[in-house]
Amino acid sequence: MNLPNKLTLLRIGLIPLFMLILYWDFPGARYAALFVFIVASLTDMLDGKIARKYNLITDFGKFADPLADKMLVTAAMLWFVECGQMPAWVLLIVICREFAVSGLRMVAAEQGRVIAAGWSGKVKTAATMVCVVLMFLPIPAFLNTLCVGVIALTTLYSGVEYFLKNADALSDM
């Protein structure tokens, strides 16, 4: 197994630790969990750079890397919902968008097409990661609300953009 794939597995392995720290609820738990979240997020950037630079792109990586990202972000957002920092409907938007875009990609793949990550999807990912990090810090309520709004809006926008740009992939349905 190559280094990028090992980093992806590490990221997946850090998710239970991340959640366990939050549930232990010791003084500084949010900061410790934030540290784990940041380390896990950095493995994502690192494995991508290594895989592209050394042409270590594998089918496992194509599958597991985006899955690990979604699992990490969903775990953080589940925590925010549980502690009342994010409404459940925002998490539902995020989850529905991920399922919908994944489904669209599967349909396109059956037609021999690849739907690459678009600009808005990259903006959504970056904005979500920044907002999740901020939401672990003791920020004012208005800033937390702004972060939740940014997550919801960038998620909706990128989901709609994927479908508008690739509507022809669904024309046979």
pLDDT of 173 above 70: no
What's the pLDDT at 28? 96
Instruction: State the average pLDDT for the chain.
Output: 93
Q: Considering just the CA atoms, what is the radius of gyration of the chain in Å? A: 17
Distance of CA 39 to the CA centre of its chain: 14
Geometric angle at alpha carbon 62, from 109 and 171, rounded to 5°: 20
Domain segments of the chain as ranges: 1-66, 85-173
What's the pLDDT at 45? 87
Task: Encode pLDDT of 116-158 as tens digits.
Answer: 778 898 899 999 999 999 999 999 999 999 999 999 999 999 9
* Full 3-state SS string of 85-129: CCCHHHHHHHHHHHHHHHHHHHHHHHCCCCCCCCHHHHHHHHHHH
Length of the chain counted residue by residue: 173
Q: What is the mean pLDDT of residues 5-24?
A: 96
